[in-house]
Amino acid sequence: GAGVSQSPSNKVTEKGKDVELRCDPISGHTALYWYRQSLGQGLEFLIYFQGNSAPDKSGLPSDRFSAERTGGSVSTLTIQRTQQEDSAVYLCASSLTRSNTGELFFGEGSRLTVL
């Protein structure tokens, strides 16, 4: 597609349920990033992929969070046993550049609300 696509755009779930957030990057972009945006917290780094591998997972808040990328394209961020503090906008971005030096192209985000 023309841009980074994220789905769902909005997700309301009950505490304790699992959720999956999907990111479809720009075709040909090798790098893919996940960030979390909460009020007053800016963009919190979660994880990034170069191809299908994740060199840095240090930003994942807990072992309830996981992410994968298949075929060097689509990525899924999974949150298990959601908690209210997981409520945020989850942003995905992709980049043509492999070395964390290039422009990031962001999706519109997935807004997660945990009741």
Partner 1 sequence: AQSVTQPDIHITVSEGASLELRCNYSYGATPYLFWYVQSPGQGLQLLLKYFSGDTLVQGIKGFEAEFKRSQSSFNLRKPSVHWSDAAEYFCAVGGDDKIIFGKGTRLHILP
Binding segment toward partner 1, per CB under 8 A, in 14-22, 70-78, 80-88, 91-99: 91-99
Which of the residues 96 through 115 are near partner 1 (CB under 8 A)? 99-101, 103-104, 106-109
Give the residue, chosen from 30, 59, 66, 72, that forms a contact with partner 1 under the rule CB under 8 A. 59
Nearest Cα residue to 61 out of 80, 39, 75, 74: 80
Give the residue, chosen from 23, 32, 88, 91, that forms a contact with partner 1 under the rule CB under 8 A. 91
Structure tokens at 38: 């909460």
CB of 31 to partner 1, least distance (A): 9
Report the C-alpha gap between 92 and 7 in whole angstroms: 10
Taking CA atoms, 85 is separated from 41, 50, 65, 79, 113, in Å, by: 13, 28, 13, 12, 9
Residues in the interface with partner 1 (CB under 8 A) total 22
CB of 99 to partner 1, least distance (A): 7
Structure tokens at 109: 């985000």
